[in-house]
Structure 1
């Protein structure tokens, strides 16, 4: 059993990254909206966790960000790249394969 919230977060980190890419493939995303989306699924990520994750995905070439202004305020908006789309596609195949194996025992009961 994981000991801390951080242990659990580490376990699901790859799934969270795929989830972020999934949403970025649908439409441009930004940090606060992704924190709210992930909270809906039970993942309470702080800005100190989410923004480094977004920056890491951008550094690897999966996302590209731009600053968008709305009057006085601005926000960093992330869009998926071609590399990100390929990674998401490959990730979906692996997740389907792994989750199929994780749940195959339930199918036999």
Structure 2
């Protein structure tokens, strides 16, 4: 169950970073690991593919030092989903982190 919860957090993280700059899989895996989400390629690439299939990300292959690297950036629909997720996160954080 915890894994499913964290996968949702990871998706929001990906959308957030893709809203700042184009991102690629390995870069995202390293970023997520810094936040305590160790994610391997077998998890990362299916998530990226699904986000792209759902129209939240779009990819572009770029030649980097002779190798093709797939960069992802957020779409307008992805930006809308991210904005809604941020609102839900704010609401949840206020409730869950409320001092008692």
- Corresponding residue for 1:72? 66
Kindly indicate whether residue 42 of structure 2 is the aligned counterpart of residue 48 of structure 1.
yes
Deviation at 1:70, TM superposition (A): 2.2
Aligned residue for 1:76, secondary structure, equals strand
- Corresponding residue for 1:32? 26
Task: Tell me how far apart the structure 2 counterparts of residues 14 and 99 of structure 1 sit (CA, whole Å).
Answer: 15
1:92 equivalent among 63, 76, 86: 86
| CA root-mean-square deviation | 1.0
Q: List structure 1 runs of 4+ shifted beyond 3 angstroms.
A: none
Task: Tell me how far apart the structure 1 counterparts of residues 39 and 2 of structure 2 sit (CA, whole Å).
Answer: 11
1:81 equivalent among 59, 63, 75: 75
Structure 2: 5+ residue stretches without partners: none
Task: Tell me how far apart the structure 1 counterparts of residues 13 and 56 of structure 2 sit (CA, whole Å).
Answer: 13
Instruction: Choose 25-34 or 63-72, whichever is displaced more.
Output: 63-72
- The structure having more radius of gyration, on CA atoms, is 1
Aligned residues: 100
Task: Tell me how far apart the structure 2 counterparts of residues 101 and 71 of structure 1 sit (CA, whole Å).
Answer: 48
Superposition TM-score, scaled by structure 2 size: 0.95
